[in-house]
Structure 1
Amino acid sequence: MALWRIRATVDDRPGYLSVLTASLALRGVNILTVQVHTTEVGAVDDFLVDAPDSLDEAELVAAVERGRGRDCWVARSEARGLADQPTRVLGLATRLVRDPDATGEVLRTLLGADEVTWRSTPVGGGVTGTTMTLPDPTGGSYELSRVAPTFTPAEYARAQALAELAATVTRQRTDRVTLVLPDGGELVVRQATGDDLAGALELHRRCSARSRQRRYLSGAAGPAPARLRRLLEPAQGLTLVATTVDSGGAAESVVALANMLAEGDEAEAALLVRDDWQRRGVGTALLRRLVGHAERAGLAALLLHVQAENAPMLRTVGRLARPTASQRDGALVTVTVPLAAAPVAPPVPARKH
């Protein structure tokens, strides 16, 4: 028996796939895996089969055509083809997380491409026969080609997802900076992920009730784990995490969080700094980075809801050295920080988050 890959287009109508598989079965062909790619011209079925040694490529093509398949492509396969597609893609995704610079090679492996070319000029993505053009989210574009078979929309979607994953990892690494404080202390500042949940929970545990109450405006217990996870990876916005570093440069405990939750063309910002790291410039540095992210995102203003008695936080906002507008409502002060050349927007009622 020998392993073969067979790809053919079948009319997307009830029973047509069974006709094709029956035709292969009559020749003693055992189907090991099958993927179905939906296209405008029909369903492209991709089989990995185990066929008798007596069958050659021409006989397999004839069996497919007798089963109402068309545009048939047949090629010998190797044992590694037995790995199912989800497992294979997850393995490639893991490789990208470790080395996003390997994007081109990962795309070649995913698609079985003969050539992969990266161009600095961004172009629109798409598939034309055996050529695929894929925008690189970090800039530029990839062009992939192979002799056969033609690319399908499903393959394009998989390649696009892996390219976006590599770009996300690259951006996170780029945004990782070492913050040197005025007193010589050092922290690592980066975008938060769901993996920071344990560290964030420990941060809240080690903060005083007063610090937690100032951050969340009411109550001192802090958010539940599920809510805190959503704050770490907001659907609209950004969360930064500051961690200590050991002598080897590895991250240790989380000492501060900075949240920016966007809604429309504005975003609300809030900070939580562990008590033993307060009054060292951590909050000021994090707030400045939030302002920078907000401006790059094209937002018009950053809002902060601060308790009137929270003088340290009000001083932190003042250190931005930017024009601000403030409005007091009882014990709460809403500070609006206009971004770029946008006019100062009227403060909105405080929302606890």
Structure 2
Amino acid sequence: MALWRIRATVDDRPGYLSVLTASLALRGVNILTVQVHTTEAGAVDDFLVDAPDTIDEADLVAAVERGRGRDCWVARSEARGLVDQPTRVLGLATRLVRDPEGAGEVLRTMLGADEVVWRPTPAVPHDAVGATTMLLNDPAGGSYELARRAPSFTPAEYARAQALVELASAVARREADRVTLALPDGAELTVRPATADDLAGVVALHEGCSARSRHRRYLSGAALPSPSRLRRLLAPARGVTLVATTTGSDGAAESVVAMANLLAEGDEAELALLVRDDWQRRGVGTALLRRLVGHAERSGYAALVLHTQAENAPMMRTVARLGRPVPVERDGSLLTVTVPLAARPAGGPVTHDTGRTGAVAGGPERARPAGGGR
């Protein structure tokens, strides 16, 4: 017995696939896997089959044509073809997460392309899928052009390939957001987007903060947030969470010393900061706030909304360092700051007027505003 790949188009009508499979079965061909790609020309069926050694390529083509198949392509396959397509794509996605620069090779492997070329110009949308050529837009700029002699590309293959390219771009952007923060006192921290793997470090961060710092951050109390709540903060549906960590030099384990959350709703985003007590008043909160403001501006949000207690003077100073006037509303002991992002002012301190005070903090959950503890 020998493994073969068969691709053929049949009319997308009830019973036509069974006619094709029956024609193969009459010749002792065992179908191991089948994928159906819907196209305007009909249903493109992609088979992995096990055929008797006495059957060759011409015999398989003849069997497909007798089963009402057309545009048939046949090629020998290997045992690795037995891995189902979703598992194979997930494995390739894992490779991209580890090495986003390997997008071209991943595309070649997934699609069996003969050539993969990156070009600095964007792809033309209506030319995205051709007979044996595929164009993919690279979210980072430019495009990929893939070519293979046979079989022709399908819309389903294009969708998978575009998803992998977008994954590679997202991972690359995440790596680009990783920076080393040099503080005025000479200490260095790593600032990067948070991941689900940071849960233990963020729990330790909260445990290492004083009750006052936690209360300033969450406003609702000084208790430790539940792990499920922290998981939601680490992976917001819209927005970003940054963590600042020690560099872990000299064999020391990395530890999270600050967390900044930016959660979006509509055209606004809410901000929250938490800095471990022994790292406060060293410039960490200011640096995180500036990075989140930059992220919000690049994302096109109209404004940032921040909440804090009126007594939280350190956070008020942090907002003042942004160098732009912001309206601040007071409701009892709670201050709400709105930082406009559409157009950055030339500079100036946070404004003060009757009943309005410069402030900062952040609470991404609208049901209960959270403070920006420092």
Change (3 A) 1:326 1:188: same
- Which amino acid is the alignment partner of residue 275 of structure 1? D
CA deviation map 1:11-57 (0-9, x unaligned)? 22332222211110110111111111122222211111111111111
- Which amino acid is the alignment partner of residue 369 of structure 2? K
CA deviation map 1:221-255 (0-9, x unaligned)? 24322222121121121111111112259871111
TM-score by length of 1: 0.94
Provide the rounded CA distance (Å) in 2 between the counterparts of 1:248 and 1:86: 42
Aligned-residue offset at 1:350: 8.7
Change (3 A) 1:336 1:251: farther
Provide the rounded CA distance (Å) in 2 between the counterparts of 1:109 and 1:42: 26
Match of 1:182 in 2: 184
Provide the rounded CA distance (Å) in 2 between the counterparts of 1:41 and 1:227: 49
Match of 2:316 in 1: 314
Provide the rounded CA distance (Å) in 1 between the counterparts of 2:249 and 2:198: 21
* 8 Å contact kept, 1:334–1:350: no
- Which amino acid is the alignment partner of residue 312 of structure 1? P
Provide the rounded CA distance (Å) in 1 between the counterparts of 2:3 and 2:252: 47
Residue 237 (str. 1) matches residue 259 (str. 2)? no
Q: Which consecutive aligned stretches of 4+ in structure 1 deviate over 4 angstroms post-superposition?
A: 248-251
Provide the rounded CA distance (Å) in 2 between the counterparts of 1:81 and 1:271: 50
Match of 1:83 in 2: 83
* 8 Å contact kept, 1:192–1:232: yes
Aligned-residue offset at 1:340: 4.6
Match of 2:222 in 1: 220
Provide the rounded CA distance (Å) in 1 between the counterparts of 2:44 and 2:238: 37
Match of 1:116 in 2: 116
Larger mean Cα displacement after TM superposition, 75-84 or 326-335: 75-84
Provide the rounded CA distance (Å) in 1 between the counterparts of 2:112 and 2:216: 55
Of 152, 155, 177, which residue of structure 1 is paired with 2:154?
152
Larger mean Cα displacement after TM superposition, 88-97 or 183-192: 88-97
- Which amino acid is the alignment partner of residue 4 of structure 2? W
Provide the rounded CA distance (Å) in 2 between the counterparts of 1:230 and 1:250: 28
- Which amino acid is the alignment partner of residue 2 of structure 1? A
* 8 Å contact kept, 2:220–2:368: no
* 8 Å contact kept, 1:327–1:334: yes
Aligned-residue offset at 1:291: 0.9
Match of 2:197 in 1: 195
Of 260, 283, 286, which residue of structure 2 is paired with 1:281?
283
Provide the rounded CA distance (Å) in 2 between the counterparts of 1:56 and 1:40: 30
- Count of aligned residue pairs for this structure pair: 351
CA deviation map 1:279-327 (0-9, x unaligned)? 1111011001111111111222212101001111111111222212111
Equivalent positions of 1:54-65 (< 5 A) are 54-65=54-65
TM-score by length of 2: 0.89
* Secondary structure of 1:128's aligned partner: coil
Match of 2:361 in 1: none
- Which amino acid is the alignment partner of residue 128 of structure 1? G
Match of 2:270 in 1: 268
Provide the rounded CA distance (Å) in 1 between the counterparts of 2:133 and 2:63: 28
Provide the rounded CA distance (Å) in 2 between the counterparts of 1:13 and 1:250: 64
- Which amino acid is the alignment partner of residue 156 of structure 1? Y
CA deviation map 1:157-177 (0-9, x unaligned)? 110111111111100110100
Provide the rounded CA distance (Å) in 2 between the counterparts of 1:160 and 1:249: 40
Aligned-residue offset at 1:329: 0.8
* Secondary structure of 2:249's aligned partner: coil
* 8 Å contact kept, 1:300–1:342: no
Aligned-residue offset at 1:270: 0.9
Match of 2:353 in 1: none
Larger mean Cα displacement after TM superposition, 173-182 or 258-267: 258-267
- Which amino acid is the alignment partner of residue 8 of structure 2? A
Change (3 A) 1:122 1:79: same
Q: Which runs of 5+ in 2 are unaligned?
A: 351-355, 358-365
Larger mean Cα displacement after TM superposition, 264-273 or 101-110: 264-273
Match of 2:40 in 1: 40
Provide the rounded CA distance (Å) in 2 between the counterparts of 1:264 and 1:250: 42
Match of 2:360 in 1: none
* 8 Å contact kept, 2:324–2:344: no
Of 279, 302, 307, which residue of structure 2 is paired with 1:300?
302
- Which amino acid is the alignment partner of residue 81 of structure 1? G
Give the aligned CA root-mean-square deviation in angstroms: 2.1
* Secondary structure of 2:168's aligned partner: helix
Provide the rounded CA distance (Å) in 2 between the counterparts of 1:227 and 1:67: 57
- Which amino acid is the alignment partner of residue 243 of structure 1? T
* Secondary structure of 1:252's aligned partner: coil
Provide the rounded CA distance (Å) in 2 between the counterparts of 1:191 and 1:8: 46
- Which amino acid is the alignment partner of residue 163 of structure 1? V
Match of 2:105 in 1: 105
Q: Which runs of 5+ in 1 are unaligned?
A: none
Match of 2:331 in 1: 329
* Secondary structure of 2:254's aligned partner: strand
Residue 74 (str. 1) matches residue 91 (str. 2)? no
Provide the rounded CA distance (Å) in 1 between the counterparts of 2:102 and 2:263: 33
